[in-house]
Every structure is written in C-alpha cells, then in structure tokens.
Amino acid sequence: MRIGVLTGGGDCPGLNAVIRAVVRTSEVRYGSAVVGFLDGWRGLLEDRRVHLAADDRNDRLLTKGGTILGTARTHPDQLRVGLDQIRQTLDDNGIDVLIPIGGEGTLTAATWLSNEGVPVVGVPKTIDNDIDCTDLTFGFDTALEVATGAIDRLHSTAESHQRVMLVEVMGRHAGWIALNSGIASGAHMVLIPEQPFDVEEVCRQVKRRFQRGEKHFICVVAEGAKPADDSAMSLREGGVDEFGHERFTGVAHQLAIEIENRINKEVRVTVLGHVQRGGTPTPFDRVLATRFGVNAADAAHNGDYGMMVSLRGEEIGLVPLAEATKQLKLVPESRYRDAAAFFG
C-alpha cells in the first residue's frame, strides 16, 4: 500500500510524532510506503511531496516541535475547485489512503473529501483542544504547560507590585487552555469565549480581593473571550480574515484599560501568543501523538475510511469524521463553575 500524509492548519507540538508513528507502523508492520505532502492541502493541489522512510531521521522526529511537512491554511473553495487536481496527485503518486492531520478546518475538508469518495483517515490536532468526539487532542497538554508555567511566574512579580495581571492565552472558540491553566496556576479569575463576561463583575472581584488585604490579582483571558451584550464594555471590531476567521483585537489590552479607568488599579498585560504552540511536546503529548499515528496507520490498512482516531478514556478508537466535525467541543458550564469556585 502507499499512504499519503499531510499536516494542515496551525501547527502544534506532536505533529512530527504522529508522522513518525504513521511512517514506522506503515513500513514495519505492513511493508507500506509513506509519502508526505508539503504545506497542507497545497501539497496535494500542487503535487509537492517527499518520501518518508522509517530511518534514523524519522526516529528523531519524536521530540521535534512544528511539522517537517510544513503547514498552511487553505480556503475550502480552493479545495472544491481543485478536487480533480487532488485526485490526479493521489493517482500519480499511487496513494491508496490519505491521512490528514489537522484541526477543525483540515478535518472538515477531510470529511468533504471522504464524501467525494477519497479514502481518508483523520488525525485530530490542536492546542485549543476543541475537536469533538475525542477527550483530548495532542498539543493541548504542551500549551497548558507553557501557559501554567508563565502564570506561575507572574504571581510573584504581580504580588511585589500589588498589580492586576491579565494573561491572554490562545483559545479562539473554546476556553480549555484558559480554564485549565487558570485552575492549575491558582488564577483569581478566568474569562473564556463560552461565558461572556461582565466588566463590572471583573472589577468587583478585583476590588473585593484587594479589600481583603490580598496583594495581587491574576486573570487568565482566552483570546476569544468577549464582554456580554449587556456589559458596559465592547471590543474593537477586527473584521474577518481571508478564511472567514474573526480577527482578534486584543481583549486583554482593552479590558486592562477598562479596569484601570474604573477602579484605578495598576494593570499589566501578558499575551502568550504563539509561544504556546512552539517547541518540543510534553511526554503526554508525545505518547498521545504516537498512539494516534499508530492507530491511524492501522485504520488506513484496515480500510476504516472516513474515520478519525480519537481518545476515549484511556483507549484510542475510531469515530466517523462526519460526527467529529459536526460541532466544536466547548467548555461546559459545569467545568467553568469548578474554576469559578476560586474567583476573587
């Protein structure tokens, strides 16, 4: 058999560990060859690829951040227009099954390709952890460790200066990184996209904490967090990018100004940004990515097309791509309430 593999969307720690596992399993367990397409779907549209072999170089991929195949976001329209070219590239390279590794956009495209009759097995990735039908995606644990480590460090400087610190973390639609890093680092408030916030309530919590004689206040803010419609604050409009994604205008910086104006407290902002996505994966993510890769290669050889590998409890299984891409996995209110027990 010949297996094609690609990485799409934003990168994330653990992508190379999946590639390594797909190559190793396909070659050693099944005697199959693996072709890596470069820069996401573009590699298929432009027939740009590399042969991947289970050698020493492949083995060193386990700990390497980013993706050796490169990645890109591709507009769904470009894929629709390019379907014939995609089929041609797969034919020309003798690819029997394609394994796209990606987040919401890449897996939605994979679902569509599968509906068009292309044999596909999906692998979910994203630091945001917002893919449905899997308990976790690799990359999330690494991002969580980076965010938690950063917030741990902010406590002492915030306390020394008696400041309010706002830490903006990634999380476009889902607040998993904010929620868990907030709980893990003992933050005093967490704002997530799923629970629109009231600026007055944020200020109340800050005031209450300082009135109790405490010396600092740390609030973790997901980049996608928004004030409630009836809140006395609104965010600057950023419009949308070429993929239809909302352009963020910096919620933490805007909230900082509101807090300073309202309660005259010194506020500092730290935006962690892409630091959360870079570097080597944690041991947990290395293991999860490896297990996803092995199981994706098995699924490809077993003919389990149109499926996505998924973690349920301790077990790796398969779920239909169509199910997994129906909706995002958002933070339920009950989980937010757990974090809220420590607010203020």
- Helix %, strand %, coil % for the chain, to 5? 45, 20, 35
The question of whether 128 is a catalytic residue gets the answer yes
Part of the chain binding ligand F6P (CB under 6 A), chosen from 107-115, 155-163, 168-176, 290-298? 168-176
Alpha helices in the chain (DSSP H): 15-24, 30, 41-45, 56-59, 76-81, 83-92, 104-115, 140-161, 176-184, 199-211, 251-263, 283-302, 321-324, 333-340
CB of 92 to ligand F6P, least distance (A): 30
Nearer to ligand F6P, 82 or 175 (CB): 175
- SS3 sequence of 175-201: CHHHHHHHHHCCCCEEECCCCCECHHH
CB of 56 to ligand F6P, least distance (A): 30
User: Interface with ligand F6P includes 252 (CB under 6 A)?
Assistant: no
Nearer to ligand F6P, 113 or 251 (CB): 251
Nearer to ligand F6P, 147 or 294 (CB): 147
Part of the chain binding ligand F6P (CB under 6 A), chosen from 13-21, 121-129, 280-288, 322-330? 121-129
Among 27, 128, 141, 168, binds ligand F6P (CB under 6 A): 128
The burial of 55, by beta-carbon neighbours within 10 Å (0-12 exposed, 13-18 middle, 19 or more buried), is given as: exposed
From the list 164, 156, 144, the residue with the least C-alpha distance to 219 is: 164
Total number of residues that touch ligand F6P (CB under 6 A):
10
- The answer to whether 77 touches 59, Cβ cutoff 8 Å, is no
| Catalytic hit among 11, 128, 130, 285 | 128
Part of the chain binding ligand F6P (CB under 6 A), chosen from 49-57, 166-174, 183-191, 332-340? 166-174
User: Interface with ligand F6P includes 172 (CB under 6 A)?
Assistant: yes
Residues 276-305, interacting with ligand F6P (CB under 6 A): 277
- The answer to whether 218 touches 155, Cβ cutoff 8 Å, is yes
Query: How many other C-beta atoms lie within 10 A of the C-beta of residue 195?
Result: 20
Among 3, 6, 7, 10, binds ligand F6P (CB under 6 A): 10
**Residue 13 DSSP code:** T
Active site residues: 128
Contact residues toward ligand F6P (CB under 6 A) are 10, 103, 126-128, 170-172, 223, 277
